[in-house]
């Protein structure tokens, strides 16, 4: 269990200081992934957005910092992280995505986004910190995330997920019959390197064929040569200026 005492928290800057979020000093802490996820969502003012497994609210609040006038809602099963998301300014339900409260089931959304835990704990090591483990280790299958998203999306609404590249078959299988128009954007660390992450998008009642897009390169240069940031200008603009990722 994390502590919510201010001495055990940090108040961290995102998007070049456009957004500040309370996070636990120890445990799961948001990195680049939810920021990239938020940048991928083409939301428009007045639309509604649901962030499944929102943590402290990073993805939804980064999206809200870029697009004004959004209705932003989060779901987080760890009560302490849900409380921090609420403190950060996100309307948040402390609930498991497989057992959402009736008040949330009564609502639908133009966009659902998710940054699920990446790693299969049947094939890895469990983190000693409970919050960090829940943020990284898989307990809820991909199909459950897709199902929860599909149920909450409005007609023609979009789901965006950032996930490990090796989980693409699961994403496509889980979306089949539930969501249409699936698309994949590989996120490659450098030119010539295989994708480690992908952005997956699908649409409720979409009818378009599957599309695999050209890779998005995160870092300049063929390899890491010095202890400094090497993000491409496009990625730098997302992380430091709150720019959109033009998919």
| Structural domains for the chain | 31-241 (3.40.50.150)
Report which of residues 139 and 182 the model is more confident about: 182
Angstrom distance (rounded) from CA 154 to CA 179:
11
pTM of the shown model: 0.89
Angstrom distance (rounded) from CA 89 to CA 111:
19
Does the pLDDT at position 239 exceed 70?
A: yes
Give exposure, 113-134, as e/b (b: 16+ Cβ within 10 Å).
Answer: bbbbbbeeeeeeeebeeebbbb
| Residue pLDDT, tens place only, 190-237 | 999 999 999 999 999 999 999 999 999 999 987 766 666 799 999 999
Per-residue 3-state assignment (H helix, E strand, C coil) for 133-201: HHHHEECCCHHHHHHHHHHHEEEEEEEEEEEEHHHHHHHHHHHCCCCEEEEEEEEECCCCCCCCEEEEE
pLDDT at position 4 is 58
pLDDT at position 126 is 47
pLDDT at position 6 is 84
- The two beta strands, 19-24 and 91-94, are unpaired
| Residue pLDDT, tens place only, 145-185 | 999 999 999 999 999 999 999 999 999 999 999 999 999 99
Q: Hey, what are 98's tokens?
A: 């497989």
| Residue pLDDT, tens place only, 67-81 | 999 999 999 999 999
């Amino acid at each position: 269990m994390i502590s919510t005492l201010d001495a055990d928290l940090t108040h961290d800057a995102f998007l070049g200081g456009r957004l500040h979020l309370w996070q636990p000093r120890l445990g799961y802490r948001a990195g680049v992934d939810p920021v990239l996820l938020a940048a991928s969502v083409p939301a428009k003012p007045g639309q509604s957005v649901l962030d499944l497994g929102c943590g402290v609210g990073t993805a939804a609040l980064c999206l809200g910092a870029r697009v004004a006038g959004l209705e932003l809602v989060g779901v987080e099963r760890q009560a302490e992280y849900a409380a921090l998301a609420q403190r950060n300014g996100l309307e948040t339900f402390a609930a498991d995505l497989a057992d959402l409260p009736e008040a949330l089931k009564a609502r639908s959304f133009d966009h659902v986004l998710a940054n699920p835990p990446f790693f299969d704990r049947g094939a890895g090591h469990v983190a000693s910190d409970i919050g960090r483990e829940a943020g990284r280790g898989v307990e809820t299958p991909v199909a459950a995330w897709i199902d929860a998203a599909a149920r909450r999306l409005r007609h023609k609404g979009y789901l965006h997920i950032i996930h490990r590249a090796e989980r693409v078959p699961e994403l496509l299988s889980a979306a089949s019959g539930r969501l249409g128009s699936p698309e994949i954007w590989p996120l490659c660390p450098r030119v010539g390197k295989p994708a480690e992450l992908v952005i997956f998008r699908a649409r409720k009642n979409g009818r378009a064929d599957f599309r695999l897009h050209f890779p998005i390169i995160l870092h300049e240069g063929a390899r890491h040569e010095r202890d400094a940031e090497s993000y491409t200008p496009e990625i730098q603009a997302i992380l430091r200026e709150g720019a959109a990722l033009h998919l």
